[in-house]
Structure 1
Amino acid sequence: MTAQPYFSSAERIGKLMTIAASWLDTPYVQSGAVKGCGVSCHRLAAAVLSEAGVAMDDVPERGDTGRRQFAQAMRGWLESRPARFAPVGPDEPLCPGDILLCDFGIGHIALYLGGEQRAVLQVLLRGATHLASLLDPQLQGRVRAAWRPLEGGCDGQ
Structure 2
Amino acid sequence: MGERIVQLARGWIGTPYVHQASIKGAGTDCLGLIRGIWRELHGDEPEPVPPYSADWGEAGREEKLLDGAMRHLHPVALDEAEAPGQVLLFRMREGAVAKHLGILTAVGGAARFLHAYDRHGVIESPFGDPWRARLVRRFRVP
Do both share a fold (TM > 0.5)? Answer: yes
Q: How far has the Cα of 1:51 moved from its partner? A: 1.1
Structure 2 residue matching 1:138: 3-state secondary structure: helix
Q: Does 1:80 align with 2:68?
A: no
Structure 1 gaps, min length 5: 1-6, 151-157
Aligned to 1:119: 112
Name 1:42's counterpart in structure 2.
Answer: 31
Q: Which has the higher helix share?
A: 2
Q: Is contact 1:71-1:108 (8 Å) kept?
A: no
Larger mean Cα displacement after TM superposition, 87-96 or 56-65:
56-65
Counterpart contact for 1:121–1:131, Cα < 8 Å: yes
Cα offset, 1:133, TM superposition: 2.1
Per-residue CA shift, 1:82-123, capped at 9, x if unaligned? xxx221112011222222111222621111223452221101
Q: Structure 1 length normalisation: TM-score?
A: 0.72
* Structure 1 residue 78, shift from structure 2 partner: 2.3
C-alpha separation between the residues in 1 aligned to 2:85 and 2:61?
21
TM-aligned CA distance change 1:80 to 1:140, over 3 Å: closer
**How many aligned positions are there?**
135
Distance 1:70 1:97 in 2: 28
**What amino acid is the match of 1:80?**
R
Percent identity of paired positions between Structure 1 and Structure 2: 19
In structure 2, runs of 5+ residues without a counterpart are none
Q: Which residue is 2:92 aligned to?
A: 104
SS at 1:129's partner residue? Answer: strand
RMSD across aligned positions (CA):
2.5
- Give 1:55 shift: 6.2
